């Protein structure tokens, strides 16, 4: 028997067909419908729960790295805009630090923009690496750029978030990562911010400084991320890809590393941590000033902020997020 061709109906001794013609049509119709069910089920799009406006939620999103946790505060009135908030070098596996080290959730609670806070990615620079780190037994290869620009937006679209109406901001490692994502995915991001970022990573000594920092934060090997001064390394450097930022609204900040209002160490450990934060912020300032000169030479405008005091710590980044809030909402229409 060939598919698509019905068998001849049987006849009784009187020569009449075994079933009335009307019943035969009904049987064929039911059979066709049953045969079609598996096909339809195979192509049906998955369904997702609609986002509840203003609700904070932890979600799991599939990726080539495995399931990735993402913390989300959905837009207050169901809007389609989103702000991606990227973590620092010591990103944790349980929570994105923007959600508990700062008042970011409160800052945008009444705005029509979703906060998207990916969890994990320690020492990743939110880049696509070419191999797993070979100094800490990493099993999978980091593919954070792919996740943040393909896999995560595809999921968020099912929850009402636009693929093309987004802002991205990050601190330290996340600062250069935010600019890279925006530079190479202009169709996705309408605004980018870097707070105390490292924006001239090909400057003398920077690769080795990053090497030491990554070994300290999870024993990651910078050589597994990108070979020295390879095209992949240069692709990650904001100083190099600066021309691709033309026309993008940006907010760039770094303090001078001097202790400020939020630096009040009261123990030996606190003094050590403050000293480390001072050095990291001073290095960020040098990088950010160089990046400012680079943009000026290209005639590319950006809003820069250089506070008179402040170290590499969360309360200062909380302030910088608030200073850039209007730009974020203007760019995305998330008011």
Q: What does the alpha-carbon distance between residue 85 and residue 155 come to, in Å, rounded to a whole number?
A: 17
145 is catalytic: no
Total H helices, total E strands in the chain: 11, 8
Question: What is each CA distance from 309 to 90, 98, 168, 282, in whole angstroms?
Answer: 23, 21, 25, 11
281 is catalytic: yes
CB neighbour list of residue 309: distance below 8 Å, 6 or more residues apart: 255, 256, 258, 259, 260, 261
In contact, 158 and 284? CB cutoff 8 Å: no
Alpha helices per DSSP H over the chain:
21-43, 104-107, 144-146, 152-157, 173-184, 206-216, 222-225, 231-235, 238-241, 268-298, 314-332
124 is catalytic: no
Active-site residue, selected from the candidate residues 114, 172, 194, 224: 172
How many residues does the structure list for the chain?
335
In contact, 169 and 113? CB cutoff 8 Å: no
Active-site residue, selected from the candidate residues 176, 196, 312, 320: 312
Positions annotated as catalytic residues are 172, 281, 312
């Amino acid at each position: 028997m060939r598919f698509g061709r019905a068998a001849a109906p049987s006849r009784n001794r009187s020569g009449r067909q075994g079933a009335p013609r009307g019943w035969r049509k009904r049987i064929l119709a039911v059979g066709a419908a049953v045969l079609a069910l598996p096909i339809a089920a195979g192509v049906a799009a998955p369904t997702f729960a609609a986002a509840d406006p203003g609700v904070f939620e932890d979600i799991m999103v599939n990726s080539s790295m495995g399931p990735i946790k993402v913390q989300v505060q959905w837009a207050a009135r169901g809007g389609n805009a989103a702000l991606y908030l990227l973590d620092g070098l010591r990103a944790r596996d349980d929570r994105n630090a923007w959600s508990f080290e700062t008042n970011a959730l409160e800052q945008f609670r009444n705005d029509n923009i979703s906060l998207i806070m990916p969890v994990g990615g320690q020492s990743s620079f939110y880049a696509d690496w070419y191999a797993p780190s070979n100094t800490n037994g990493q099993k999978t290869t980091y593919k954070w750029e792919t996740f943040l620009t393909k896999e995560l937006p595809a999921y968020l679209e099912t929850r009402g978030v636009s693929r093309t109406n987004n802002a991205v901001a990050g601190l330290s490692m996340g600062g250069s990562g935010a600019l890279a994502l925006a530079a190479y995915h202009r169709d996705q991001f309408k605004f980018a911010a870097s707070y105390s970022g490292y924006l001239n990573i090909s400057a003398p000594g920077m690769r080795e400084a990053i090497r030491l920092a990554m070994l300290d934060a999870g024993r990651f090997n910078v050589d597994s991320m990108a070979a020295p001064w390879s095209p992949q390394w240069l692709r990650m450097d904001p100083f190099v890809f600066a021309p691709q930022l033309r026309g993008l609204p940006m907010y760039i900040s770094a303090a001078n590393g001097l202790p400020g209002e939020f630096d009040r160490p009261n123990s030996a450990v606190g003094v050590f941590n403050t000293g480390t934060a001072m050095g990291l912020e001073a290095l960020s300032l040098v990088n950010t000033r160089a990046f400012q000169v680079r943009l000026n030479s290209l005639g590319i405008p950006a809003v820069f902020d250089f506070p008179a005091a402040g170290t590499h710590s969360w309360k200062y980044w909380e302030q910088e997020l608030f200073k850039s809030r209007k730009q974020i909402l203007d760019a995305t229409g998330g008011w």
